[in-house]
Amino acid sequence: MIELRRVQDRWRRCDVTVRDFPFALLLTVLSLMPGFQGNGTQIGDLPTRPYDVLAVLVIALECLPLTVRRRWPAVCLVLVSLGFALDQLFAYHALAGTALPIALVSAGAHLERHRRGTVLLLTVAYVPLMVALDRLGSNESLADIALLYLTLVLAWGIGTWLRSTRAAEAERRRHLAEATRAAERTRIARELHDVVTHHVTAMVVQAEAARYLTTAPERLDTTLSAVTDTGRRAIADLRHLLDLLNPDHDADLRTPSVGDLHALVEQTRRAGQPVEFTEEGDPAESAGSAEFVAYRVVQEALTNALKYAHGSRTVVSVRNGNMITVEVSTDGSGSRTGSPGGSGRGLAGLRDRVDALGGEFSADRQADGGFVVRARIPAGSPS
């Protein structure tokens, strides 16, 4: 079985002329066999002529050009048409005549340029061939001549249909590839936003606080140590993200989950944000990507709290179960920090993530000026 697959793979890698040659050779051999002589296409009532050396040349002219029917379809069609005309004029009526509709299908499917000109040229050439056969005594009726012409047109039409089908499939694959690339770029942008924004915001807040602690060396040292730790954590998370994007990385790459929320909350507290954290229930055994999205919801909400409500009381509530419920709120008593303003990409990305898992997401301002972020995410959602 393995050897057969290798042979098939090697055959597919061969040039199209190599792959088309066996069929052209087979049709040539069959047309020359005594049992098939005179059993091909016959226009009119001209008596079939016995095969001679010229018949061999005519049959070769009809069949062998099929070798290049996909590489050079126009050349193939011209040579096969010429061979077909000679076949009828000399009344060999060879089986090789079936090469003409095959060449027409191939030309309709693979000819890239001068398609209308090719059709017009073949139509013009068809008329003098019928006139010449009539003068030789073929006695073919106009109805039969028209039927043969329509048959050839049908062969061209089949090739054109195959061409349009192939083009439509290529276009579908192109759109699918573009959509896949766009989705991947969006995923990478979200991950970078989640990782970079949170850590950088914490570092900015901590650095701002350090400016006012020059008279308290111990507190200043603690704050600067927190900045250093946050920077190291940011580098570690970025490396983790790069490992996720590297297809050759064999390490066991773990994504954040609700089990990592304690470390996230503690990091936010060290940045000067008073955070109250409560967690109810045990995470589901098959929470899938729901835990990861829940972690990102809390992370983005805490980042915004550091940015726009620094120092205000922040409450984080997580309830595990069949539905992971997350709520993060601020009381509006804090102040805006000097960190860069947001673009809204974070909340929009969270809404898309939660919606993709069949959950619910909201972010609303409260009456006291605070802000509340809520999310309900079905546990066990596929990644």
Query: Model confidence over 151-194: pLDDT tens digits?
Result: 999 999 999 999 999 999 989 999 988 888 887 777 777 777 76
CA-based max dimension of the chain = 118
**Whole-number percent of the chain with pLDDT over 70:** 81
Pairwise CA distance, residues 27 & 7, whole Å: 24
pLDDT exceeds 70 at position 382: no
Shortest CA distance to 271 belongs to which of 299, 311, 238, 236?
Answer: 311
How far apart CA 336 and CA 361 sit, in angstroms, is: 24
Cβ proximity of 243 and 251 under 8 Å = yes
* Segment 32-54, tens digit of pLDDT: 998 888 788 888 888 888 999 99
Out of 23-32, 97-106, 263-272, 333-342, which region has the weakest mean confidence (pLDDT)?
333-342
> How confident is the model over 237-280, as pLDDT tens digits?
777 667 766 666 554 445 677 678 888 888 888 777 889 999 88
Q: 3-state SS of the chain: helix, strand, coil percent to 5?
A: 65, 10, 25
